[in-house]
Amino acid sequence: MGSLSIWHWIVVLAVVLLLFGRGKISDLMGDVAKGIKSFKKGMADDDETPAPKASEPPRPLPHQASPAPETEKKAV
């Protein structure tokens, strides 16, 4: 009684087909396949991203200005 035989699976499959119909299930599987293909394409696009161009050196931010000369620093 604890295991499911082939007849149990056939009955479950028949009920699912009656409830959802063959058209809805095939549409659902098509949508799943499109989603998987889109995911794989997105993962492949991430791997092929080019490195950023290094045409000009990075500029320092205003709050990261060069250190003040030693004469302007206060002694502690």
Q: What do you get for the CA distance between the two ends of the chain, in Å? A: 85
> Which pLDDT belongs to residue 4?
79
> Which pLDDT belongs to residue 10?
92
**Which tokens belong to 42?**
């997105």
Q: Hunting for tokens 């794989």 — which residue is that?
A: 40
With a threshold of 0.85, does the pTM exceed it? Answer: no
pLDDT digits (tens, 9 = 90+) for 3-18: 778 899 999 989 888 8
Please count the other Cβ atoms lying within 10 Å of the Cβ belonging to residue 20: 13
> Which pLDDT belongs to residue 34?
94
pLDDT digits (tens, 9 = 90+) for 24-40: 878 888 899 999 999 99
